[in-house]
A and B are shown apart, each in its own frame.
Chain A
Amino acid sequence: MNALAARRRHPAAIALLLLLGLILTGVAYSTFAPKQADAATAAASSVEEGKKLFLANCATCHGLQAQGTKAGPALPGVGAAAVDFQMGTGRMPMAAPNVQAPRADEVRFTQEQISAVAAYIASLAPGPAVPDAEYTTGEGGDVALGAELFRVNCAMCHNFAGSGGALTRGKYAPALRDIEGKHIYEAMVTGPQSMPVFNDDNISPEAKNDIVAYLHEVDKQENVGGMALGNLGPVSEGLFVWIFGLGIMVGFAVWLGRKAA
């Protein structure tokens, strides 16, 4: 203890103390942070089952007849594709009201349950159906053409490498890494949240398949040039050169300056 007390004015003491504080706070938080409750429900596959699931999980915001309330939009006509996308990516049901439904790592429903809800919503009014698997895998798609289509139609919001980008008032275009082809396709057909709809007249199903192929190519591509710094463009490069580039250079300069001639 005496040795410790003697070093209490050491220049590194404050840094160490801060680090200790941060670690303690972090550990305490992860211990006491509330865990997510599991919302498991019974399996079902009919419209009737879908309606039950809807009433239990969605009606609070979307209304008992899916007619919409102040908290959520009306759903007749959005089609099965919209339900499959929103629930399949964990966006719905939303945990809390927010500017935009964030994608969740954890999908709360099985595919059967999602299909049931989709069938129920589709039964209310016609809308885009869940797409054919033929066009959603990206297989056989033209990656180069898909890349060009992506740059022309998608990159202005989603960034050239699908890293995502900002929209107004806290809304954003999400990053497009590791997303199932089906969900990419459904997003294009249904235009979730701030996204515009790209119907088959805008971009043909084959071209959508090309875009899926391109995005899958981006997912598996190794970075030939080294670390990609998040593929965010010159901002992260600038940050890197200021912190690491300058940091290393100054470190060497100090070291060399200390070296007596």
Chain B
Amino acid sequence: MSSNGRSGSADPIDRLRKDDATPEAPTAPALKAVGGVAGWLDDRTGAAKPVGYLMKKVFPEHWSFMLGEVAMYSMIICLLSGTFLTFWFVPSAGQVVYDGSYLPLRGITMSEAFRSTVDISFDIRGGLLIRQIHHWAALMFIVALSVHMLRVFFTGAFRKPREINWVIGCILSMLALVEGFAGYSLPDDLLSGTGLRAAEGFMRSVPVLGSYLSFALFDGPFPGEAIIPRLFSIHVLLLPAILVGLFTAHIGLVFVHKHTQFPGPGRTNDNVVGFPVMPVYAAKAGGFFFIVFGVISLISGLVTINPIWAYGPYDPSPVTAGSQPDWYMGFADGALRLLPGWLEFTAFGFTFSFNVMIGAILLIPVMYGLMAVYPFLERWVTGDTREHHLLDRPRNNPTRTGLGMAALTAYGVLMFAAGNDLMAIKLHLSINDITHILRAAFFIAPPLVFWVTKRICLSLQRKDRDLVLHGRETGRIIRTADGKFFEQHEPLDEFTRWNLVQHDPHEVLTLERATDEHGVVSPTARKDKARSALSRFYFSDSINPVTPAELAAAHHDGHGHESIGAIEASDDETRPALESARREPPKRP
């Protein structure tokens, strides 16, 4: 690309620039070598432009923006450690007699998959550590990804133009569950075999198709010999490829959209305030990768995960108490534990097991479906078609925050239900009582949490308004000459104030007339009605930020007891700036 500019030396325009000084080449030999290599590469790949673009990308600074990074690094750690494990893991259900170095399993018949996992744990140098790194990193991956999703949701980062990226994230998250479950099922220990047995039951609960599905996947009746090699291909080939592909798209879109930022003085919808990738974020993110790797390695070195030698090889007859899936499948397991038995019934000579199917088959797609649809729903309700690069403080959208907390509560109830047996023995409670309470909580707690969260958000917004209008309570009591007492309030500085007044006010969408002047009913009348009802649900009690006019009024006569000289003077200084404050953010000093 760069050579094109110089090639046309006969071009008349070049005469105008014949006096230009040729830039001096860098003199340091090391720099020259680097430049040479870079130039060589650029000539052949044209990489300079895109790489330069990426390196100059500016990222804002906030700890919560690094949650996605934790997920990304955990995934990379999984890929690295997983590759190591494939060197020794034998994905086969072929039966062998164990003769390795772990005495309590000697002479037991087991599958080759289980034997090779035990060998990795006891006979391969560093194998157990890598296995534990792989498993802990997988758990950490989904924890970080989930918390990252929560951050995106509660700050409204999914709004235009990021809806597609939110949907990609939802798919990534759902596939991560499947990938995790496939990995959990591979070692063929008692726990993973029990998990597969449960999965087989889930498939069979699908009306009409169930037994065909299960036969197709297991290549015959459970357990069969096909499932382990099949899951292996899915776990190491298919899903990682899709995950990495989607992840690349995910992060690519972050570069295209630019990263969102929290509101603050000088931060607008059209800029990104932060540091460039090179050199700041390259160093920070690179360092953070090693921190994440270090922490996961430390945990893996200190804490056992999935002690397959203790579970023993899978055999369809035994089951262990405390058979649970890894945490990320806990909500589905909990739903199974909560669903009442009467949902299974017989009709037309067939058994319909909705007690299993609702929790095991329907829940996951329904949950992720709702999550993926939410940005579009909110956009429809608000009628907001603008781009948003500034994040919402969660309190400034009370209904969204409330809905999110309600959903999180429902999820939490299901997840806790998966541990009902352990709660029963550790807390000396009756498992029946726990189950009944959680069943009720699944329906009662989310609306309650919604209401409480919304109230808290509204109160926080009122507090913000109060702070802006009346300033901070200093705790200093002043007695005037004529014996009046009052507490002195200190007005906020304009940088602090900016954060409290910068957001957009919410308005309820009003219903356009359902009939036109001729009395003809508008074709969209029903939709409009639903939309304005939802809009009322979202925003009818919303509290809007203080306007400059309100602020000015408050400072003039809002609080007579404070109108003493000193404060009045400081108010006068700030007021002119505030007239335009709602439009123009103050510049950092």
Across the two chains, which residue of chain B brings its CB closest to A240? B303
Residues of chain B with a CB closer than 8 A to A241's CB: 136, 139-140, 143, 299, 327
> Which of B418-426, B443-451, B535-543 touches A?
B418-426
Asked if A170 meets B143 with Cβ closer than 8 Å, knowing A165-B425, A231-B307, A257-B62, the reply is: no
Query: A223: which of B67, B304, B418 is its contact (CB, 8 Å)?
Result: B304
21 A-B pairs in the complex with CB atoms less than 8 angstroms apart: A144-B103, A144-B104, A144-B105, A156-B319, A159-B320, A159-B321, A159-B322, A160-B191, A160-B311, A170-B431, A224-B309, A227-B304, A229-B303, A234-B306, A234-B325, A235-B422, A239-B327, A245-B143, A246-B143, A256-B66, A259-B284
**CB of A238 closer than 8 Å to a CB of B:** yes
Since A165-B421, A233-B323, A235-B324 are in contact, a sample of 14 more A-B pairs with Cβ atoms closer than 8 Å, ordered by chain A residue number, is A148-B108, A155-B321, A157-B321, A159-B322, A164-B321, A217-B104, A224-B121, A224-B122, A225-B303, A225-B305, A245-B296, A256-B66, A256-B284, A257-B63
Asked if A151 meets B312 with Cβ closer than 8 Å, knowing A165-B322, A256-B284, A257-B62, the reply is: yes
Q: Is the CB of B136 within 8 A of A166?
A: no
Q: Is the CB of B421 within 8 A of A152?
A: no
**CB of A62 closer than 8 Å to a CB of B:** no
Q: Is the CB of B143 within 8 A of A261?
A: no
**CB of A232 closer than 8 Å to a CB of B:** yes
**CB of B495 closer than 8 Å to a CB of A:** no
**CB of B163 closer than 8 Å to a CB of A:** no
Across the two chains, which residue of chain B brings its CB closest to A236? B422
Q: Is the CB of B431 within 8 A of A231?
A: no
Q: Is the CB of A231 within 8 A of B310?
A: yes
**CB of B429 closer than 8 Å to a CB of A:** yes
Most buried by B among A147, A166, A226: A166
Q: In whole angstroms, what is the CA distance A154 to B385 when docked?
A: 62
A:41-88 near B, CB below 8 Å: none
**CB of B317 closer than 8 Å to a CB of A:** yes
Distance of B426 from chain A, by nearest CB (Å): 9
Distance of B78 from chain A, by nearest CB (Å): 14
Most buried by A among B61, B128, B284, B322: B322
A:12-59 near B, CB below 8 Å: none
**CB of A109 closer than 8 Å to a CB of B:** no
Q: Is the CB of A237 within 8 A of B295?
A: no
B:463-501 near A, CB below 8 Å: none
Distance of B107 from chain A, by nearest CB (Å): 5
Q: Is the CB of B136 within 8 A of A245?
A: yes
B:142-157 near A, CB below 8 Å: 143-144, 147
Residues of chain A with a CB closer than 8 A to B66's CB: 253, 256-257
Residues of chain A with a CB closer than 8 A to B307's CB: 161, 223, 225, 228, 231
Asked if A246 meets B321 with Cβ closer than 8 Å, knowing A143-B104, A225-B305, A229-B303, the reply is: no
Contact-size category for A = 35 or more
Distance of B124 from chain A, by nearest CB (Å): 13
Q: Hey, which bits of chain A sit against chain B, CB under 8 A?
A: 99, 142-145, 147-148, 151-152, 155-161, 163-170, 172-173, 214, 217-218, 223-229, 231-242, 244-246, 248-250, 252-254, 256-257, 259, 261
Q: Is the CB of A232 within 8 A of B422?
A: yes
Q: Is the CB of A226 within 8 A of B302?
A: yes
Q: Is the CB of B303 within 8 A of A261?
A: no
Say whether chain A's binding surface is mostly helix, strand, loop, or mixed: helix
Across the two chains, which residue of chain A brings its CB closest to B138? A241
Q: In whole angstroms, what is the CA distance A75 to B424 when docked?
A: 30
**CB of B366 closer than 8 Å to a CB of A:** no
Query: B320: which of A151, A166, A236 is its contact (CB, 8 Å)?
Result: A151
Across the two chains, which residue of chain B brings its CB closest to A254? B63
Across the two chains, which residue of chain A brings its CB closest to B70? A249
Q: Which 7 residue pairs of A and B lie closest in terms of their CB atoms, listed nearest first?
A: A165-B321, A238-B327, A225-B304, A170-B430, A166-B421, A166-B424, A257-B63
Across the two chains, which residue of chain B brings its CB closest to A224? B128
Q: Is the CB of A156 within 8 A of B425?
A: no
Distance of A10 from chain B, by nearest CB (Å): 14
Residues of chain A with a CB closer than 8 A to B306's CB: 234, 237
Residues of chain A with a CB closer than 8 A to B302's CB: 226-227
Q: Is the CB of B132 within 8 A of A225?
A: yes
Q: Is the CB of A253 within 8 A of B139?
A: no
Say whether chain B's binding surface is mostly helix, strand, loop, or mixed: helix
Asked if A155 meets B327 with Cβ closer than 8 Å, knowing A228-B307, A237-B139, the reply is: no
Q: Is the CB of B190 within 8 A of A250?
A: no
**CB of B432 closer than 8 Å to a CB of A:** yes
Q: Is the CB of A250 within 8 A of B305?
A: no
Residues of chain B with a CB closer than 8 A to A231's CB: 307, 310
Across the two chains, which residue of chain B brings its CB closest to A213? B104
Q: Is the CB of B428 within 8 A of A249?
A: no
Asked if A148 meets B312 with Cβ closer than 8 Å, knowing A143-B104, A225-B128, A229-B303, the reply is: yes
**CB of B183 closer than 8 Å to a CB of A:** no
Residues of chain A with a CB closer than 8 A to B191's CB: 160, 233-234
Distance of B304 from chain A, by nearest CB (Å): 3
**CB of B291 closer than 8 Å to a CB of A:** yes
Distance of B196 from chain A, by nearest CB (Å): 15
Distance of A170 from chain B, by nearest CB (Å): 4
Across the two chains, which residue of chain B brings its CB closest to A102? B428
Across the two chains, which residue of chain B brings its CB closest to A163? B322
Residues of chain A with a CB closer than 8 A to B103's CB: 143-144
Binary interface encoding of chain B residues 58-71 relative to chain A, with 1 for a CB under 8 A from any of its CBs, else 0: 00011110110110
**CB of B368 closer than 8 Å to a CB of A:** no
Residues of chain A with a CB closer than 8 A to B291's CB: 252, 256
Q: In whole angstroms, what is the CA distance A139 to B221 when docked?
A: 41
Q: Is the CB of A248 within 8 A of B63?
A: no
Distance of B151 from chain A, by nearest CB (Å): 11
Binary interface encoding of chain B residues 105-138 relative to chain A, with 1 for a CB under 8 A from any of its CBs, else 0: 1111000000000000110000010001000100
Asked if A151 meets B315 with Cβ closer than 8 Å, knowing A170-B430, A252-B295, A253-B67, the reply is: yes
Most buried by B among A148, A159, A245, A257: A245
Query: A233: which of B147, B295, B324, B420 is its contact (CB, 8 Å)?
Result: B324
